[in-house]
Structure 1
Amino acid sequence: MAILPIVMHPDPILEKECDQVTAFDKKLKKLLNNMYDTMIEADGVGLAAPQVGVDLQVAIVDIGDENGTIELINPEIIESDGKQTDLEGCLSFPGLYGEVTRPFSIKVRTYNRKGKISEFQAKDFLARAIQHEIDHLHGILFTTKIEKYITEDELEGYEVE
């Protein structure tokens, strides 16, 4: 597979509402595979299509747990509950980190690479990562949600107050 170049802010595609996927074909499968390789190479836990210059509602998340790689195609959050505040960063904003508050638990409806719809629950860090990637698909950047910026020097001993 190929490692794709990651789009950096302020590229306008990062703030664009992406188009929905309508063709569940080999091209989509190749995009998902290349996005996965790119995310792993960049040491990320999630990657959205606009971050590799593609205007489609496609994202992947893999936080390294038993859930494995989650592919999100035309995803939507249909329920949310609770609240959590924690540190976030973004591959399109290297070296920038901040505290963001998001729902603790979410229910997501999405398609898989074959066009089959499914729903699943996510909590805690997995829910945070999924919400971050879904935001990308709607042109919403985590920087618009940061409540407190954290410097790279502060990262080592970082804890939410």
Structure 2
Amino acid sequence: MVKEILQIGSDILTTKSEPVADINSEDTKALIRDMLDTCLDKKQGTAGLSAPQIGVLQRVCICRRTDLEDKNGEDTISDNELWEVMINPVITSKSDVQSVFWEGCLSIGVGDDQLFGPVYRPLDIEVEFTTPVGEQKTLEANGFFSHVIQHEIDHLDGVLFVTYISNPQNIWKNKELDKYLSTHGEFPPIA
């Protein structure tokens, strides 16, 4: 079932989530189904979703496999391959090298008022998690996909991406950013 996305100001979004104790419980299965349904409904505008964004304080997130889209082409990836469900994810290593990507969030504004900004994060990470079928998995990620995973795990820790943006001049509304991008062909300089 497609769920409503909580917006900034909700206490749930700034609360640390609890680990999932039983991945085989009906509640956990229903949560994952609801999250996948919500991702598919928002497919054009999302790179991921965490359980707190739909009001559930459990350590579950879904990350869009932007790395596979970049490699294989967006239209060649099935919905099952596109979304990586991570239960109790833990980042086990981070590179010292930082990268910057402009991030947005379904929980920080809607439509033209959705907010975006440049966020510096480690370029490369390794994450360990449990899949919905109980398999322990280790995944290496870099570039934008690395940012997606870190962004979603931040949600599980009650951290929003705007926390990393110290200068408010670097926060742009969707409509303003789209206009800038169409005029200049690149993101605004970071102030």
What TM-score results when the alignment is normalised by the length of structure 2?
0.78
For residue 85 of structure 1, the aligned residue among 83, 100, 106 is 100
Aligned partner of 1:7 in structure 2 is 6
Deviations 1:83-119 (A, max 9, x none): 1111000000121111100111110010111232111
Spell out structure 1 runs of 4+ moving beyond 3 A.
Answer: none
RMSD: 1.6
Aligned partner of 1:135 in structure 2 is 154
Partner of 2:145, secondary structure, is helix
The amino acid across from 2:135 in the alignment is K
Partner of 2:82, secondary structure, is coil
Given that residues 65 and 84 in structure 2 are in contact (C-alpha distance below 8 angstroms), is that contact kept between their aligned partners in structure 1?
no
Aligned partner of 1:149 in structure 2 is 171
Give unmatched runs, 5+ long, in structure 1: none
Larger radius of gyration: 2
Bigger fraction of residues in helix: 2
Deviations 1:110-137 (A, max 9, x none): 0111232111101111111010000000
Whether 1:107 aligns to 2:126 is yes
Give unmatched runs, 5+ long, in structure 2: 73-80
Distance (whole Å) between structure 2 residues aligned to residue 8 and residue 61 of structure 1: 19
For residue 58 of structure 2, the aligned residue among 39, 56, 59 is 56
Given that residues 61 and 69 in structure 1 are in contact (C-alpha distance below 8 angstroms), is that contact kept between their aligned partners in structure 2?
yes
Distance (whole Å) between structure 2 residues aligned to residue 48 and residue 160 of structure 1: 28
Whether 1:123 aligns to 2:138 is no
Whether 1:71 aligns to 2:93 is no
Shift of 1:154: 2.8
Shift of 1:63: 4.2
Count of aligned residue pairs for this structure pair: 160
Aligned partner of 1:45 in structure 2 is 47
The amino acid across from 2:172 in the alignment is I
Distance (whole Å) between structure 2 residues aligned to residue 154 and residue 135 of structure 1: 24
Partner of 1:7, secondary structure, is coil
